[in-house]
Amino acid sequence: MSTSKSWTCEGKPKDGKDYPNAFAHQPYENFGPDCAICGLPREAIEVSKGKRPAAAGGSDLAIERVWGWQQGSSQSLS
């Protein structure tokens, strides 16, 4: 009998990595290491709070802070 906590997957990785075989789906409660629907590993869904995924827009935020620039603005960096 496994005592591991269940986790929910919707097929959308939150770790910023690409999983070509994964696909979005309705929330599904999993008990094993990988999603039974799309195959995503638990680590792709449960990102530790100390790490920020690359897909979260960190690079745009850094540019905005340094240059005062936002995507879609009419300001130019040159």
Instruction: Convert the pLDDT of each residue in 37-59 to its tens digit.
Output: 999 999 999 987 665 555 544 44
Measured distance CA(17)–CA(47) in Å, rounded? 11
The set of residues, in sequence order, having a beta carbon less than 8 Å from that of 14 and lying 6+ positions away, is 44, 45, 46, 47, 53
35 has pLDDT over 80:
yes
Give the pLDDT band (50/70/90) at residue 24.
Answer: very high
- 75 lies in some domain: no
- 21 lies in some domain: yes
- Looking at the structure of the chain, the number of domains it has is 1
Of residues 4 and 31, more confidence is placed in 31
Of residues 50 and 33, more confidence is placed in 33
Angle at 7 between CA 2 and CA 9, to 5 degrees: 135
- 58 lies in some domain: yes
What pLDDT is recorded for position 50?
61
pTM value is 0.57
- 1 lies in some domain: no
77 has pLDDT over 80:
no
- 53 lies in some domain: yes
